[in-house]
Structure 1
Amino acid sequence: MTFQFLVDGLIAGSMIGLGAIGITLTYSILRFANFAHGEFLSWGAYIALALSGALSFLFSALKTPVGPFSFGWSLPLAGILAILLTGMLALLLDAILFGRLRAQRGAVIIMVMASFGASLALRSMLEFIFTSKPAYYTKALQIAVNIGGGLRVTPDQMLALALTAVVVLAIHLLLTRTGIGRSMRAVSENPALAGVVGIDVRMVIRAVWIVGAGLACIAGVMAGLLVQIRPYLGHDLLLPLFAAAILGGIGSVPGAMLAGLIVGLSEAAAVQLIGAEWRAAISFVILVAVLLIRPRGLFGRQA
């Protein structure tokens, strides 16, 4: 039996974890499950693809490969711009949809259904603009490196794992060492009381949208680099994202990341042991089990 699935599971789990952090932050602040979050992964990946192509066309020097990796300098630059633009997309969606519903004190179920409709609209727009044909940042082949124990990993995969660690650390520092992070935690605890003591709740909401969408963009670019880019990229990851967010405990960033790794490893193990056709079912099983056995998740607060 090969243990290569451990590497595959960690890589998939890192992408799931980053997306789940965005979901758990959004839910803890806005109090609704945003089904459009998966589309931020897809939009981030496609925005980075378009910008990377444009930068390579305008500046041929940016096609030069970055060290041992499969991509040129245009992709990192495009990725940074894509994070900003995906955050702006989230703010625009909030301004024209969710913000109006909040102002009208719309019920939670209305917000959830609105997010479902927004998800369909965003996905359809991607298919209209880019078509449903799979796309790639690069088609360069990489040779996997033996890291011991029969495990092999490519430079791009190692970069994805390292980038995930750096991003999670940055989010932890943002939430624990900065004013906006402390404001986020206060609004998560009690929005009304946070407003009374002078916290700008609207600013916190905008910051949460930007951070959540930015993390989704990073996860989408990673998925596009390691696998492929498709309009259904985010949709296919939506159930694992919610499973990880609930397993980790709503509002817990470390919990979401750890749960993402658990979900990723579980899916990879299922492929290894019982077949690839069962991969999608694993997230559903985990989700149901958590809701039945420990609804507050691994690190969630007791209600």
Structure 2
Amino acid sequence: MMLQALADGILTGSIIALGAIGLTLTMGILRFANFAHAELITWGAYMALGALALTGTFAGPISPFSFGLPLVFATLIAVVLTAALALLIDHLVFRPLRSHTSHMTVVFASFGVSLLVRMVILLIFGGSAAYYSNELQIAIRVMPGLRVMPDHVFTLGLTLAIVVALHLFLQKTRLGLSMRALAENPDLVRINGIDTRVVVRWTWVIGAALAAVSGVLYGLTVQLRPEIGFQLLLPLFAAAILGGVGNVFGAVIGGLIVGLAESLSVLFVPAGYKMAVPFFILLAVLYVRPNGIFGALRGGAK
């Protein structure tokens, strides 16, 4: 029972971590809490569902997984469409507000954007649960008390690969270094002639891409509902704040901690209270260490 809860917690935490990375990047560089980020996860998941409806009949699943190449292509399409939506929202809403109003106004605007995106999803896809595939999977017995699905192994492996790739991008590339510098000291970045608008645009693209992948993986391992973003909102913020705003590695660790805490909590309290666990974690972190385990980056961008 404990081993299974640990495995489920790591799976959930890896999905939360992907979404939290995108959230912590935008919070660290733009310096506002973007509540619409959670709805980008939902948008990405449903964009993949729409793309899959056009391509899913041309190929079957790849054994032992429940999905095939159509979902892979649909995910790539979802990444592009989610990045496009994020750039559009920033151009129409956030960028004008960042230039002329306080950060709190931008935060409140993100609430409105999140509601708008959710209503658009409801209008297009309806409120019923949906699935990427109707294929049934048999859990693989790894050891006594522990069974895993092939899709779960794929999800964890893909998450690890993305985290490593993003780490190398931020450490080794000029754009990644510019993003880190902008989060740390925006004034110094501007003095050195770096175009902060380009860095901000790529921040949105990367954050939205990670949100889309996170949404697809969530839908692959659970199911699709328009409430995905709302259900993940508090865990995402808890993970980002726990790891330290702007810290990618911290967001990963924070996501795993939140996922494990949620999963292990059902061993001691009714499952209906599981949603409250991230809230208690968030309160505890804010009380004991407001800057998170690994500290927060300072900065902002126009």
TM-score, normalised on structure 1? 0.96
**Partner of 1:239 in structure 2?**
234
The CA distance in 1 between the partners of 2:285 and 2:105, in whole Å, is 25
**Partner of 1:70 in structure 2?**
66
Aligned residue type for 2:75? G
Post-superposition offset of 1:121: 0.4
Where 2:75 maps in the other structure, the secondary structure is helix
The CA distance in 2 between the partners of 1:45 and 1:144, in whole Å, is 24
The CA distance in 2 between the partners of 1:301 and 1:118, in whole Å, is 26
Aligned residue type for 2:43? W
1:220 equivalent to 2:215? Answer yes
For the aligned residue pairs, the C-alpha RMSD in angstroms reads: 1.2
Structure 1 unmatched ranges of 5 or more: none
The CA distance in 2 between the partners of 1:29 and 1:135, in whole Å, is 35
121, 127, 130: which one pairs with 2:122?
127
**Partner of 1:163 in structure 2?**
158
1:197 equivalent to 2:200? Answer no
Aligned residue type for 1:93? I
Is this contact kept in 1: 2:51–2:74, CA < 8 A?
yes
**Partner of 2:90 in structure 1?**
94
Where 1:3 maps in the other structure, the secondary structure is helix
**Partner of 1:27 in structure 2?**
27
What's the CA shift string for 1:222-264, capped at 9, x where partnerless? Answer: 0001111111101110000000000001111111001100100
Q: How does 1:1-303 map to 2 (within 5 A)?
A: 1-57=1-57, 60=58, 63-104=59-100, 106-301=101-296
Post-superposition offset of 1:3: 2.4
Where 1:146 maps in the other structure, the secondary structure is strand
Is this contact kept in 1: 2:20–2:239, CA < 8 A?
yes
Is this contact kept in 1: 2:247–2:297, CA < 8 A?
no
The CA distance in 2 between the partners of 1:80 and 1:173, in whole Å, is 21
Aligned residue type for 1:94? D
Post-superposition offset of 1:271: 1.2
Aligned length: 298
The CA distance in 2 between the partners of 1:123 and 1:192, in whole Å, is 36
Post-superposition offset of 1:52: 1.1
The CA distance in 2 between the partners of 1:21 and 1:81, in whole Å, is 20
Post-superposition offset of 1:2: 4.0
Which 10-residue stretch deviates more, 257-266 or 271-280? 271-280
Aligned residue type for 1:185? R
The CA distance in 1 between the partners of 2:234 and 2:208, in whole Å, is 17
The CA distance in 1 between the partners of 2:190 and 2:89, in whole Å, is 23
The CA distance in 1 between the partners of 2:61 and 2:239, in whole Å, is 34
Post-superposition offset of 1:193: 1.7
The CA distance in 2 between the partners of 1:196 and 1:11, in whole Å, is 43
The CA distance in 2 between the partners of 1:284 and 1:135, in whole Å, is 28
The CA distance in 1 between the partners of 2:61 and 2:271, in whole Å, is 33
Question: CA, structure 1 residues 110+302, in 2 after alignment: closer, same or farther (shift >3 Å)?
Answer: closer
Aligned residue type for 1:85? L
The CA distance in 1 between the partners of 2:206 and 2:282, in whole Å, is 25
Where 1:152 maps in the other structure, the secondary structure is strand
Where 2:223 maps in the other structure, the secondary structure is coil
Question: CA, structure 1 residues 266+129, in 2 after alignment: closer, same or farther (shift >3 Å)?
Answer: same
Question: CA, structure 1 residues 302+97, in 2 after alignment: closer, same or farther (shift >3 Å)?
Answer: closer
